[in-house]
Chains A and B, each alone.
Chain A
């Protein structure tokens, strides 16, 4: 398996534009997580899905952020409109059962909003 695949690896956009980040989890994994990493706040959980259903989105910073998982092999995180403070590395991770099992992370998308 190729692991968790995220695209794009880097994104530079202007303030106010819509940004869509994409993730393909490992086949057979039931859980999918979106994280954001910054120097100031570390690695923060934004939202996670179980069997394509959003379970906990309490970490989503505000209404400008939305996430979907239309099927078991694809998820998106959308920011609309984007702001400079959204600049961060966004990681997607998947795991087989969640809980005590290992989360496999993608390489991340480095987002810069200017």
Chain B
């Protein structure tokens, strides 16, 4: 069974601070996605990474896929209250289904 562990589980920070969320597995993934979910809504895709070592930037968000394609990180610079939400990583390994991680619940305080 493929498992994706995310850390930390919970994170509460002040607006303007930087943070990093981690997604780790013992399995190799052919691609990995990051989603953000807000209360009462379904997850919304932020990014897809497919190449080991790949780095993608989306404004203040930086995503990295590990060289061995077993782990990933999400770094947020100068967090804003609008970044509050549940961050989920999801990995696929050759089949057409994504397994979701355990999630990191982020709260950014004004």
Interface residues of A (CB under 8 A from B): 4, 31, 33, 35, 42-45, 48, 50, 55-56, 91, 93, 97-100, 102-103, 105-108
Please tell me which stretch of B12-20, B62-70, B71-79, B88-96 contacts chain A, meaning at least 4 of its Cβ atoms lie within 8 angstroms of it.
B88-96
List of B residues within 8 angstroms of A98 by Cβ: 96-97
Given A100-B48, A102-B48, the answer on whether A50 and B103 have CB atoms closer than 8 Å is no
- A42 with B101: CB separation less than 8 A: yes
Q: How far is the CB of A103 from chain B (nearest CB, A)?
A: 7
Instruction: Decide if B31 is an interface residue (CB 8 Å cutoff).
Output: yes
Q: Across the A-B interface, how many residue pairs have beta carbons closer than 8 Å?
A: 56
Give the interface residue-count category, chain B: 20 to 34
Interface residues of chain A: helix, strand, loop or mixed (majority): strand
Q: How far is the CB of B46 from chain A (nearest CB, A)?
A: 10
Per a CB cutoff under 8 Å, which of A4, A33, A97 touches B97?
A33
Q: How far is the CB of B48 from chain A (nearest CB, A)?
A: 6
For the complex of A and B, the 8 pairs showing the least CB-CB separation, nearest first, are A105-B42, A98-B96, A43-B100, A102-B45, A100-B31, A99-B96, A42-B102, A91-B42
How long is the Cα–Cα vector from A33 to B31 in the complex, in angstroms? 18
